[in-house]
Copies of this chain bind each other. A is one copy, B any other.
Amino acid sequence: MVRTRLTAQERHTQLVAAAVTAFAQGGYAGTTTDQVARIAGVSQPYVIRIFGSKQELFLATMRHAGDRVQQMWRTAAAEDPSLRGLGMAYKQLLAERDLLVVLLHGFAAAADPGLGDAVRQCYGDLFTLVRDLTGASAEEARDFFAAGMLITVLGAMRVLGPDAVPTQPWMADLLGALPYE
């Protein structure tokens, strides 16, 4: 048996990574804890024991995605603290599209009372960070987040990012006009 045991900490990290993949595909309600467990190669009850509940697993997954975006923006701002710099960084995140799609699923699931507050908090943190890093006005930040939401939704629709669906006529117009090139 080459397989060695991991510490709970390592397993936690690995499970969150697996959850990003799983939740990006099916959303909160449409993903089972067993799917996450299979991706990580552990049993389903163990996932529950580490996170306590499916909801906590999802929250941890969303927090991780938000943290990754924050980290990306901080790094980008160190070189180019403009909205354009952060925008290019966000488009690079399409390479890890699942992260963005998990965030979108979280936003869409904000009606769930157990998730709403955490979701709004996550979004607020991102908004505040962008303004802090760039000093952008409210209007500039609004346009920045609008473009970000468009990119995110197009990613979720499999129109942008890895394994994008074959281009349809209207898409070419929209994609050719995307900002932050």
Which of A1-9, A66-74, A121-129 touches B?
A121-129
B109→A170 contact, CB < 8 A: no
Chain copies in complex:
2
Residue A25, interface by CB 8 Å:
yes
Query: Whole-angstrom distance between the alpha carbons of A28 and B108 in the complex?
Result: 11
Contact at A141–B27, with CB atoms within 8 Å? no
Minimum CB–CB distance for A21 against chain B, Å: 11
A156 contact from B29, B108, B128, Cβ within 8 A = B108
- CB pair A120–B29 under 8 Å, yes or no, is no
Chain A: residues with Cβ within 8 Å of the partner, total of 52
Which among A33-41, A43-51, A171-179 touches the partner chain?
A171-179
A25 to B174, CA, bound (A): 30
- Which residues from chain B contact A139 at a C-beta distance below 8 Å? 177
**B25, B124, B168, B179: the one within 8 Å of A170 (CB):** B124
Q: Is A78 an interface residue (CB 8 A)?
A: no
- A133 interfacial by beta-carbon distance below 8 Å: no
Closest to A120 in B: B157
Residues 158-181 of A, flagged 1 when their CB comes within 8 A of B and 0 if not, give 110000010011110110111100
Residues of chain A in range 121-146 having any CB-CB distance to chain B below 8 Å: 123-124, 127-128, 131, 137-139, 141-143, 145-146
